[in-house]
Structure 1
Amino acid sequence: MSAYSRPNSPRPNSVRSSSGRSSSARPNVARRLPVRSRLVALGLGLAIAATGCAGAPGSGSSSASATGGAFPVSVNNCGRTVTVKQQPTRAVALNQGAIEEALALGVQKQMAGTAYLDDKVADKYPTKEVFAQAKPDFALASYASAFSDKAVGTRDELEQQGIPTYLDPFACDNKADRAQVSFDNVWSSLGDIAKLFGQPGNATTVIDAQKTELDAVKQAKAGDGQKVFWWDSQTDTPFTGGNAGGPALVMQSVGATNAFADVDGAWANVPWEKVVAADPDVIVLADASWSTSQSKIDYISNDPALKNLKAVQNKRFITVPFSQTTPGATLVDGAKSVSDQLAALPR
């Protein structure tokens, strides 16, 4: 399974790849999207309400004439060349991370639909038939599982239908093609997506604002002297952030010590005995409908051994939406949120 692939239904206690993966209230930041954009959710029978991330341009900025985007355009993506011949007007985003990227870049007026939220309604991908009914002219996804025969079709299949596709570079099927998880590569990906939408100027706006936000987080050093256990999900063997993914980047940015910095990869299952031995000062909890932060707090607070951890005794918990813990448009928002919450904790 790809490092960032995801099954078609939520699995609160499922095991994911240790090498990484891709996707709420957000902190107040400059140039936030001024309106809540509603996009049709394919195959889910509901509409998705979402806000922009740090640096998002206004919703009125998504016209080709405003940016001078020229077509055709091409980018390299996961070992293949993606060419968009005409500016997309009916694009479909197939994961929350891809939705957030579209909103961050202010291209919602060029969207036909979205599917598969991580934070709130991690349900399923649309069928090929439902996807086709949207008459998409471009599709983007955060997980390789979106472009499979069990979902909307493979990338080759869609290309043959005249539908170009883009997959987050951290989720490439071929490990050799995957980008290293870094803020620079997140911003590079946003630039590629903006180019494919004909909105290169929007990416510049977003990236500049996010760099300013991240510099402020680093200067604050809110996590200085704090050992952090990042708990994503699972109670039998906790799934935690290793030394090479979104959580690692956030912990480095706030100046905290990662309790499992010796674990290679973005994510890994670790035994509770090692958590007890680490005895972290702070526990960061990813919050999603399939593994809520409160359910994890309840579990760890009532376990005979874990309830004695100093972070539990002192109720030093931090909650972050799952979508802000993976490399993408809202990872800087996640770093800002963790920084603010660390600063608010009593020492």
Structure 2
Amino acid sequence: MRVKRQNPISTAWLCFLLVLVLAACGQSSGKTEALTPVKSENKSENSRDYEPVTIQNGDRKIEITEKPMRAVTLNQHTTEVMLALGLEQYMAGTAYLDDDILPEYKDQYTKIPVLSDAYPSQEAFLNVNPDFAYAGWQSAFQEDAVGTVERLEELGITAYLHQSSNMVGPAKEDIYQDIRNIARIFDVEERAEKLIESMNNEVEKIREQIGAIDEPLRVFVYDSGEDAPVTATQNFMTELIHMAGGKNIFSDIEKNWANVTWEEVVNRNPEVIVIIDYGDIPVEKKKQTLLNKSALADVEAIQNERFTVLPLSAAAEGVRMPIAVETLAKSFYPEKFK
């Protein structure tokens, strides 16, 4: 039987065409990957057993049909929620730390790209092909940050705003709800319940150690300001102070932060002043501002120089809640923690 021989010229021509096609495909996929959200094989496989999730996020309803695979966190407390839930493998980037990451999460954190010290530009944000953006503060979802929620949705990116940080008068249950929401989105609900149980147990142990308080300490929160102080009113600081056995002297103002007058601070006569530590103004400078303010000379906290320093990272609505309660409680009632 005779075997039909191929024409060598035809074979070479076909090979040449095949090389061109493969090269063109390689260039095309490179461009597509940089411009559109990642649709990896892993995501498709991971989503086969994924139950769609619908979550009320503020006045928005979020519907998620596939587990996010390339999340970006945009504030410290949201980053630490993700890490506490063991979700680092789903994080394509992170940004905006107020403080060092908690030691127990450092190894996980070092494996995640840091996009910016503050909010990343839209270009830097989109360059990591995110499919989920998780912000602690509304300021992240602005045009001069990563973009509005509506714009992100147009790009196929789900935006979740940490609810407890953006409501007036949040309680610890509101933080737990945020943790549960994130856990539902990433299908790790059992981890959330273990985390919440651990946080709650730690807080309750501290409260048991404080014991019954007949008259809570009067507490003034000093954020900043020389002519008129900026203070915490009905944000989570009020709840933290309450859990630690104190009472925020400005908790009657129905907003999260407010400018008040030094005269009103004097009238309410705090026994302890909590200084919030963040930004470019050192704690010592804030303390000297208070000590040098002649109008405050008769205030008990100034006379006794009773100051407590709380980092902003601990004051935020996140997994540091037990740390914040313990810090405040030990300062308010040191005799109970000897």
Aligned residue runs from structure 1 range 1-347, under 5 A: 70-119=50-99, 124-170=118-164, 178=167, 181-221=170-210, 225-242=216-233, 244-344=234-334
The DSSP-based 3-state class of the residue aligned with 1:136 is coil
Structure 2 CA distance for partners of 1:76 and 1:225, relative to 1, 3 Å: closer
Amino acid at match of 2:267: A
Per the normalisation by structure 1, the TM-score is: 0.72
The DSSP-based 3-state class of the residue aligned with 1:166 is strand
Between the two proteins, the alignment pairs up a number of residues equal to 274
For the aligned residues, what is the CA RMSD? 2.7
Q: Distance in 1 between matches of 2:305 and 2:258?
A: 24
The DSSP-based 3-state class of the residue aligned with 1:233 is coil
The DSSP-based 3-state class of the residue aligned with 2:160 is strand
Question: Can you list the C-alpha shifts for 1:238-276, whole angstroms capped at 9, x where unaligned?
Answer: 11122x321110121122132223323222111011112
Structure 2 CA distance for partners of 1:278 and 1:137, relative to 1, 3 Å: same
Q: For structure 2, list consecutive stretches of 5 or more residues without a partner in the other structure.
A: 1-44, 102-115
Q: Percent identity?
A: 33
Question: Can you list the C-alpha shifts for 1:248-305, whole angstroms capped at 9, x where unaligned?
Answer: 1012112213222332322211101111222211111111024432221121122233
Question: Can you list the C-alpha shifts for 1:29-72, whole angstroms capped at 9, x where unaligned?
Answer: xxxxxxxxxxxxxxxxxxxxxxxxxxxxxxxxxxxx9xx98343
Preserved CA contact (<8 Å) 2:164 2:178: no
1:183 is displaced (CA, Å) by 0.8
Q: Distance in 1 between matches of 2:248 and 2:49?
A: 42
Structure 2 CA distance for partners of 1:291 and 1:103, relative to 1, 3 Å: farther
1:101 is displaced (CA, Å) by 1.7
Preserved CA contact (<8 Å) 1:220 1:254: no
Structure 2 CA distance for partners of 1:250 and 1:320, relative to 1, 3 Å: same
Structure 2 CA distance for partners of 1:115 and 1:194, relative to 1, 3 Å: same
Q: Distance in 2 between matches of 1:332 and 1:266?
A: 21
Q: Distance in 2 between matches of 1:265 and 1:331?
A: 21
The DSSP-based 3-state class of the residue aligned with 1:305 is helix
Greater helix fraction, Structure 1 or Structure 2: 2
Q: For structure 1, list consecutive stretches of 5 or more residues without a partner in the other structure.
A: 1-64, 173-177
Preserved CA contact (<8 Å) 1:179 1:185: no
Q: Mark the structure with the bigger radius of gyration.
A: 2
Q: Distance in 2 between matches of 1:197 and 1:235?
A: 45
1:118 is displaced (CA, Å) by 3.0
Choose 133-142 or 228-237, whichever is displaced more.
228-237
Preserved CA contact (<8 Å) 2:168 2:235: no
Preserved CA contact (<8 Å) 1:182 1:249: yes
Per the normalisation by structure 2, the TM-score is: 0.73
What is the match of residue 39 of structure 1? none
Preserved CA contact (<8 Å) 1:232 1:241: yes
Preserved CA contact (<8 Å) 1:74 1:83: yes
